[in-house]
Structure 1
Amino acid sequence: MKWSEGVQAILKQFYVEDNVLMKISEDMQAEFALGLERGSPASSVAMLPSYVPQLPDGTETGKYVAIDLSGKNLRLVLLTLVGKGVEPEVITHNYMVHESVMKGTGEQLFNFIVNCLQKFLSELNLLDANLPVGFVFSYPCELHSIRSARLLWWTKGFDIKDCLQKDVVLLLEHALEMNNSIKARIKAVMNDTVGQLAAAAYKYGPECCVAVVIGYGCNSSYLEETAKIKKFNASKADYNHKHMVIVTEWEEFGAQVRFFTLLHFSAKY
Structure 2
Amino acid sequence: MACVLHVIDKYLYAMRLSDETLIDILTRFKKEMKNGLSRDYNPTATVKMLPTFVRSIPDGSEKGDFIALDLGGSSFRILRVQVNHEKRQNVHMESEAYETPENIVHGSGSQLFDHVAECLGDFMEKKNIKDKKLPVGFTFSFPCRQSKIDEAILITWTKRFKASGVEGADVVKLLEKAIKKRGD
Common topology (TM > 0.5): yes
1:154 counterpart = 2:157: yes
Structure 2 matches for 1:71-110, cutoff 5 A?
71-83=73-85, 86-110=89-113
Contact 1:103 1:159 in 2 (8 A): yes
Contact 1:67 1:77 in 2 (8 A): yes
What is the deviation of 1:61? 0.9
Distance 1:107 1:15, change over 3 A: same
Structure 2 matches for 1:134-149, cutoff 5 A?
134-149=137-152
Counterpart AA for 2:119: C
What is the deviation of 1:45? 2.2
Distance 1:70 1:35 in 2: 20
Report the counterpart of residue 16 of structure 2 in structure 1.
15
Which structure 1 residue ranges, 4+ long, deviate > 6 Å from structure 2?
Answer: none
Distance 2:64 2:7 in 1: 58
Per-residue deviation, residues 60-98 of structure 1 (Å, max 9, x unmatched): 111100111133312111100124974411111222112
Report the counterpart of residue 229 of structure 1 in structure 2.
none
Report the counterpart of residue 179 of structure 2 in structure 1.
176
Q: 2:64 aligns with which of 45, 48, 62?
A: 62
Distance 1:11 1:73 in 2: 31
Distance 2:130 2:67 in 1: 12
Distance 1:95 1:42 in 2: 33
What is the deviation of 1:28? 2.2
**Higher mean C-alpha displacement, 40-49 vs 139-148:** 40-49
Aligned residues: 180
SS in structure 2 opposite 1:113? Answer: helix
Report the counterpart of residue 36 of structure 2 in structure 1.
35
Distance 1:126 1:44 in 2: 41
Structure 2 matches for 1:201-240, cutoff 5 A?
none
- More strand by percentage: 1
Contact 2:70 2:139 in 1 (8 A): yes
Distance 2:164 2:124 in 1: 30
What TM-score, normalized by structure 2, do the two folds share?
Answer: 0.84
Report the counterpart of residue 164 of structure 1 in structure 2.
167
What is the deviation of 1:5? 5.6
Distance 2:29 2:50 in 1: 15
SS in structure 2 opposite 1:156? Answer: coil
Higher relative contact order (CA 8 A, sep 6+): 1
Gaps of 5+ in 2: none
CA root-mean-square deviation: 2.4
Distance 1:43 1:68 in 2: 25
Counterpart AA for 1:101: I
Per-residue deviation, residues 177-203 of structure 1 (Å, max 9, x unmatched): 21121xxxxxxxxxxxxxxxxxxxxxx
What is the deviation of 1:105? 1.1
Gaps of 5+ in 1: 182-269
SS in structure 2 opposite 1:49? Answer: coil
Per-residue deviation, residues 132-176 of structure 1 (Å, max 9, x unmatched): 101111122222211111112223322212212211111111111
Report the counterpart of residue 117 of structure 2 in structure 1.
114
What is the deviation of 1:37? 3.1
Contact 2:68 2:138 in 1 (8 A): yes
Distance 1:163 1:122, change over 3 A: same
